[in-house]
Amino acid sequence: MKKSSWFLITLILAFCSLSYEFIMVKVMTMSLGGRIGNYNLIVSLFTFSLGMGTLFSEKVNKEKTKETLCVVEFLLSSVGMLSPALILFFPSLWLGSLFSLLIGFLSGFEFPLLLNIKPNSDSSLLGFDYLGMFLASIITPLIFFREIGIIPTLILVGMMNLLIAIVILEKSKLSKLAFGLFFFTSFFVIKNHEALNLSVGEVVF
Amino acid sequence: MSGKENLFQSLGLAFYLAGMATGSFLNSKSTASFKRLLSYEVGNLLVGSFFLVFLYLHLGYGISSNFNAPVSPEDLPQFPLFLWGLGGVFLIGSFTGAELPEFLKFKPLEKNKVLFLNYFGALFSGIFLNFLLGHSFDTKQVLLIFTIMVGVNFLTLIMLSRKWILVLSIFLLPLTFSLSVRLGEKIEKAFLASYYLGTKVDGFREFIRLAETSSKIGLIENIKTPFQDLHLVTELPVRGSATKGNISLYLNYRPQFDLYSYTTYHESMVAGALNLSQMVPRKVLILGGGDGILLNVIKKFLPETKVTLIELDPVMLNIFKNNSNLLHFNDDVFNSGFGTVVQDDAFAFIKEDNNKYDAIFIDFPYPYSDELTSLYSAEFFKTLKRNMNSGGFFIVDFPVTDGENFSLLYLKLEKTLKVAGIETVFPFGPYSSFVYGKLKKETVSFSYEKMPEDIHLSTSLNLFGLSHLERGEKSVKSFSLFYEQ
């Protein structure tokens, strides 16, 4: 895979990680209320587990970096898509904390693994990582949440993550299938965003 | 300050991350350098100390040279907000973003540990920041504490590099801090005076002097709470002026009420809801309303009713219980023994409360933050439904001042309420707008012959249905009692 493709992957993965965090915070506020402690707990646990994930990624066998990254992305996509939906239906601070820890821990693995894959591109990889988070902080709360709602955003981000997991495998047929699935899901989600949001309602302001 | 907290929170984070990305891209040198790391720290130190000072200076001077009346968040010039607010955040992000690659170069074999410590620092900063905000430190003080931490970091780096610059830094650091503190305080006072008192100035010097001279026109109490910035503005009476001599309360730069408007809002809410429901509630819940005015109006109309009031901000409750200038707003209701006051988050309270109420009054501030917007969601009203008796009602403030969007936002709220299972929805109030709701479907309208006689004239004028909104027509609402728009 080309160097530029890895930069793009870094950007998308950072976008997905921060988007999951925005979705978690929004869902937790909607289902448990706006106690400042809840918000802080979620953000702190996410940041803490990011650090732990980074530390644990040292133990990954360097020869299996790509495979590990792929597994991490599959897991992240599943946990990321499942957790907000579960919190909406079974609101609990413990459940929210557990999922935040998991999402943070898995996201923490990403960057060191990418550094292992492209060892001499520290600054550029960091730059794309921040750029991905920059895009997430604009697009997710200001465009996605407002225009299509929380649940459709969650599905889009999860699918994007899944797509990257498959692309990392470098199996062209599977990648093509994944691209197709991603575009089909995106089209379906955007077209039916009102119905998808109806079960959880929407925020007026 | 912009009145668009949601937007600026996202943009603030976005600009910080864009700065981090820019810093990382620019720092692509292959060798590690202490000198470069030092320059990044100096950059952070200077921008961190001064950007808030310049923001107040630019905004305050801009307002006081152009306006001679109090302004609202919408009047604030957007360019300085972007320039100093987001520009400052971008620069801090750039210097911070350039640091991490430098550290990775210093310890190329321990990248994971460097990254871990980087995240750990972010975690510490998050917890420490919330601890400071939770203990009523204001933005300026928090900024100063963090700048001191950057300064200490800077000194440590200098000592590690053992350069002559150590001598320079001994002078540079105290100079930066004292300038930032002295200037910042004075300029913030001048900014608040220009914002709330509408003091027009002719020159820059006059603007700086505003911090002292404004007390002749009015007094501004600047109270920081863990949840909001609370400004209590007392304009001194002026002979021949009908509008001076007012007391107003602002939350996060947004008006809540003043001497001229508070009766209309609170009386409309209580008298309007009671008239529409045609019942005498025995058990009432108030969500918000920490100023006690709504509680006092309910005391007036329903003196025998059992009332519970839930307010998030203990500082708000405290000042409306103890500040003698404010007691006439609520007739000292908090010391009268009427009602039970609970300090808690409203959403969290109704989730855990198993009581059922005949009437629920929702009196929240303008929904400018994530926490407040979540109170206008289907989840909130679904939860609220569990706390309502089958024949009970709720009434919620619908604080929209924009005539163009009013109808659109109302339809969105109506849809949200329907999703939550509220069958009857009735909007009213051309001056101060409310939405009245009931679980069961029924036709509601005002019975003017049953209106209490002792309500104010301005309240009577506000008790009109806004049924045209349901048809999606543009609102006639283009003004409010509080602001001339």
Q: How many CB atoms lie within 10 A of CB B154?
A: 21
CB A100 within 8 A of CB A46: yes
Which three-class secondary structure state does DSSP give residue B296? helix
Distance from the Cα of B410 to chain A's closest Cα (Å) equals 8
Verify whether the Cβ–Cβ distance A34 to B13 is below 8 Å.
Answer: no
Write down the pLDDT at residue B164.
58
Distance from the Cα of A58 to chain B's closest Cα (Å) equals 7
User: Model's pTM, two decimal places?
Assistant: 0.68
Q: Provide the chain A residues 145-184 that lie in CB contact (below 8 A) with chain B.
A: none
What is the sign, positive or negative, of the torsion defined by CA atoms of B158, B162, B167, B168? negative
Q: How many helices (H) and strands (E) does chain A have?
A: 9, 0
Q: Nearest residue of B to residue A50 by CA position?
A: B119
B326-354 confidence digits (pLDDT tens): 888 899 999 999 999 999 888 888 888 98
Verify whether the Cβ–Cβ distance A128 to B116 is below 8 Å.
Answer: no
A95-134 confidence digits (pLDDT tens): 888 888 999 899 988 888 888 887 777 778 888 988 999 9
Burial of B292 (0-12, 13-18, 19+ CB in 10 A): buried
Verify whether the Cβ–Cβ distance A51 to B120 is below 8 Å.
Answer: yes
Distance from the Cα of A51 to chain B's closest Cα (Å) equals 4
Closest partner residue to A123 among B24, B111, B115, by Cβ?
A: B24
**Chain B residues lying within 8 Å of A202, measured CB to CB:** 377-378, 412, 415-416, 419
Closest partner residue to B21 among A35, A52, A127, by Cβ?
A: A127
Per-residue tokens: B247: 């007391």
CB B73 within 8 A of CB B203: no
Q: What is the dihedral of CA B252, B255, B259, B264, to 10 degrees?
A: -130
**Chain A residues lying within 8 Å of B28, measured CB to CB:** 123-124
Write down the pLDDT at residue B113.
79
Verify whether the Cβ–Cβ distance A204 to B20 is below 8 Å.
Answer: no
Closest partner residue to B25 among A31, A50, A123, by Cβ?
A: A123
DSSP state letters, B255-272: EEEETTTHHHHHHHHHHH
Q: Provide the chain A residues 48-77 that lie in CB contact (below 8 A) with chain B.
A: 48, 50-52, 54-55, 57-58
Alpha-carbon span B66 to B81, nearest angstrom: 16
Give every CB contact of residue A70 below 8 A, 6+ residues apart in sequence: A165, A168, A169
Give the CA count within 13 Å in the CB-facing half-sphere of B16.
12
B192-215 in b/e form (b: 16+ CB < 10 A) is bbbbbbbbebeeeebbbebbeebe
Longest dimension (CA), chain B: 86
Q: Nearest residue of A to residue B14 by CA position?
A: A134
Write down the pLDDT at residue B256.
82
Q: Which of the residues A15, A58, A134, A199 would you substitute to probe the B interface, choosing the one with the greatest number of B C-beta atoms within 10 Å?
A: A134
Q: What angle do CA B461, B463, B464 make, to 5 degrees?
A: 95
**Chain B residues lying within 8 Å of A201, measured CB to CB:** 377-379, 381-382, 416, 419-420
Q: Nearest residue of B to residue A122 by CA position?
A: B101
DSSP state letters, B332-391: TGGGTT-SEEEES-HHHHHHH----EEEEEEE-----SHHHHGGGBHHHHHHHHHTEEEE
Distance from the Cα of A161 to chain B's closest Cα (Å) equals 21
Per-residue tokens: A135: 């895009």
Question: Region A164-177: what's the mean pLDDT?
Answer: 78
Verify whether the Cβ–Cβ distance A29 to B130 is below 8 Å.
Answer: no
CB A26 within 8 A of CB A87: no
Phi and psi at residue B307, in whole multiples of 5°? -120, 135
CB B26 within 8 A of CB B95: no
CB B236 within 8 A of CB B217: yes
Distance from the Cα of A142 to chain B's closest Cα (Å) equals 7
Residue A35 has pLDDT above 60, yes or no: no
DSSP state letters, B113-130: HHHHHHHHHHHHHHHHHH
Q: Nearest residue of A to residue B377 by CA position?
A: A203
User: Which single residue is written with the structure tokens 């225009």?
Assistant: A147
Write down the pLDDT at residue B4.
57
A87 and chain B in contact, CB less than 8 A: no
A137 and chain B in contact, CB less than 8 A: yes
Extract the residue ranges of chain B whose pLDDT is less than 70: 1-8, 29-30, 65-80, 126, 129-147, 149-151, 153-174, 176-177, 179-182, 238-244, 367-374, 399-406, 468-485
CB B253 within 8 A of CB B3: yes
Q: Provide the chain B residues 419-438 that lie in CB contact (below 8 A) with chain A.
A: 419-420
Distance from the Cα of B463 to chain A's closest Cα (Å) equals 24
Its ipTM equals 0.71
B373 and chain A in contact, CB less than 8 A: yes
**Chain A residues lying within 8 Å of B384, measured CB to CB:** none
Write down the pLDDT at residue B370.
60
Verify whether the Cβ–Cβ distance A29 to B17 is below 8 Å.
Answer: no
Verify whether the Cβ–Cβ distance A137 to B374 is below 8 Å.
Answer: no
Alpha-carbon span B385 to B422, nearest angstrom: 8
CB B14 within 8 A of CB B21: no
A8-19 confidence digits (pLDDT tens): 999 999 999 989
Residue A197 has pLDDT above 80, yes or no: no
Which three-class secondary structure state does DSSP give residue A130? helix
Question: Region A197-202: what's the mean pLDDT?
Answer: 51
Return the higher-pLDDT residue of A73 and B431.
Answer: A73
The DSSP call for residue B203 is S
Alpha-carbon span B206 to A63, nearest angstrom: 69
A137-150 confidence digits (pLDDT tens): 889 888 888 778 78
Residue B325 parent element (H or E): none
Verify whether the Cβ–Cβ distance A47 to B119 is below 8 Å.
Answer: yes
Per-residue tokens: B404: 């163009």
Distance from the Cα of B443 to chain A's closest Cα (Å) equals 24
- Secondary structure of B395-413 in HEC code, one letter for each residue: EEECCCCCHHHHHHHHHHH
Residue B207 parent element (H or E): helix B204-213
Closest partner residue to A201 among B116, B370, B416, by Cβ?
A: B416
Distance from the Cα of B254 to chain A's closest Cα (Å) equals 16
Verify whether the Cβ–Cβ distance A34 to B372 is below 8 Å.
Answer: yes
If you count residue pairs, one on A and one on B, with CB atoms under 8 Å apart, how many are there?
A: 165
Q: Provide the chain A residues 111-130 that lie in CB contact (below 8 A) with chain B.
A: 111-112, 115, 122-124, 126-130
Q: Provide the chain B residues 208-247 that lie in CB contact (below 8 A) with chain A.
A: 226-227
